[in-house]
Amino acid sequence: MKTEFTTAQRSNPIIQEIEANLRKCVHCGFCLSACPTYSVLGDERDSPRGRIYLIKDMLEQGGAPNPEIVSHVDRCLSCLACMSACPSGVHYQHYIDHARAYVEDHHQRPWFDGVLRAALTFILPYAGRFRLALSLAKFAKPIAFLFGTKLAAIINMAPGTIQKPTLPEGSQIYPAEGVRKKRVALMLGCAQKVLRPSINEATIRLLTRFGCEVVVSKDVGCCGALTHHLGKDDAARDFAKSNITAWSREFEGGGLDAIVINAAGCGTEVKDYAYLLKDDLAFGEAAQKISKLSKDISEIIADLELPSSIPTDLPDVIYHDACSLMHGQGITEPPRQQLRKAGFNVVEIPGRHFCCGSAGSYNLLQPEMAGQLIDRRLGGIDGVLSESSAEIIATGNIGCLVQLASGTSTPVVHTVELLDWATGGPCPENLPH
Ligand code: SF4
Ligand code: SF4
């Protein structure tokens, strides 16, 4: 792709990197059919190739971006399906992240959007604040209409019940059962431990049952993805540095074989810390080490070789790929193989590479597009339910889990909850016992 950056712009290392990335794009358009927003809107400007052009123009022109370009950048889900489809290796993830940061620094948003984004940044990454906000939203539901359409829609998304924390507060060590095979750190997440604490409980039971000592550090918090996707790169780096410091301390103390992450969106972010902090003299090297140590839970389970079970009366499972796992980390088969090995029959959804519309805080900021995408995904699931004996939906990311559960009465669980159940743990609470 031809670029027209000025000499002064080209002296900026970020522009040099962006230009090198842009030059890989050969305009082939293979990414278009993979893109959820293009498939809904049919507008090239809401496709990966279109966004690449628009962002290039925005950066070449400099200054405040055209609000129309901002709207197309904002509509991108960061689902990364375009990266999976691109034959030329265009790194769309880093490209759109740079674009979001540029918009954040150079664009004055309408006041409501600005306040909403500031509120999300203040609340979502902190479990205590998030829990309080959900409790307030729950009580505000009957009068939500008084707050205007946009805010009412967000208030109405709050779950009906908010579960109390179940794991002890503070740093913990959960010893391995039998011979210790690995010592791993578990990231509990921020939103996940509020919305579905049973996922971390199941993960700890499963890991310890199969020989892992599990370390939880009280100093590890949000991965930073929620702020990163809002263009607030400095805040994302601060979260990354804080987590790197805590895990490095653990690595140098008792040693760590891996950092286990059971929310795919967080895993994609932590695996990218090496890039996020590549120019940071104090944290660059440690960030590389932490990114290398980071594993999705399915990667660790593959190493632990769970025993095969004889299929008994376990229900058939519809498996939903989280974009962050499928496109962000390239993990598709291990969770399916593990579910089959544990005795579940796995049923596929048509168009499985399409995003469900969750995408971090996307469903709060872009409710119309998110609504169309979840309707399409649930329509596909309804078709599968009517033609198969599947009774539950499993996925590997809390955002997808909540998004799917918002529109179906079919129980939605994390893959790890099923694996825990099949190997001796309790049946997940939302399944018929
Ligand atoms: S990240 Fe997803 S929504 Fe954004 S351009 Fe790529 S495929 Fe489309
Ligand atoms: S698939 Fe890759 S090379 Fe082709 S248009 Fe899309 S980004 Fe460019």
Domains defined for the chain, CATH in brackets: 7-106 (1.10.1060.10), 111-156 (no CATH), 172-302 (3.40.50), 307-422 (3.40.50)
Residues 261 and 296 sit within 8 Å (Cβ to Cβ): yes
What global pTM score does this model have? 0.94
| Ligand 1 atom with minimal separation from the 75 CA | 3
pLDDT for the residue numbered 151: 79
pLDDT for the residue numbered 153: 77
Q: How far is the CA of 17 from the centre of ligand 2 (A)?
A: 17
Q: How far is the CA of 248 from the centre of ligand 2 (A)?
A: 38
Q: Which ligand is closest to the CA of 40, given by its number? A: 1
* Share above pLDDT 70 across residues of the chain, in percent, rounded to a whole number: 99
Q: Which ligand is closest to the CA of 33, given by its number? A: 1
Which of 202-205's residues contact partners 24+ apart within 8 Å by CB, and which partners? 202/414, 202/416, 202/417, 202/419, 202/420, 202/421, 202/425, 202/428, 203/260, 203/262, 203/297, 203/416, 203/420, 204/167, 204/174, 205/420, 205/425
Q: Whose Cα sits closest to atom 2 in ligand 1?
A: 79
Phi-psi region of 189 (alpha: psi -120 to 50; beta: other; left: phi over 0): left
How far, in Å, CA of 321 to CA of 312, rounded? 25
Low-confidence ranges of the chain (pLDDT < 70): 309-311, 433
Residue 33 CB–ligand 2 contact under 6 Å: no
Q: How far is the CA of 324 from the centre of ligand 2 (A)?
A: 20
In a 3-state reduction of DSSP, which class is residue 391? strand
Residue 367 tokens, joined: 């409710």
Binding-site residues, ligand 1, Cβ < 6 A: 34-37, 48, 51, 76-82, 92
**Which residue from 90, 93, 94 has its CB within 8 A of the most atoms of ligand 2, so it is best to mutate?**
90
**Which residue from 53, 79, 323, 369 has its CB within 8 A of the most atoms of ligand 1, so it is best to mutate?**
79
How far, in Å, CA of 412 to CA of 391, rounded? 10
Q: Which ligand is closest to the CA of 76, given by its number? A: 1
Q: Whose Cα sits closest to atom 1 in ligand 2?
A: 86
Residues 418 and 428 sit within 8 Å (Cβ to Cβ): yes
- Tell me the pLDDT tens digit for each residue of 190-238: 999 999 999 999 999 999 999 999 999 999 999 999 999 999 999 999 9
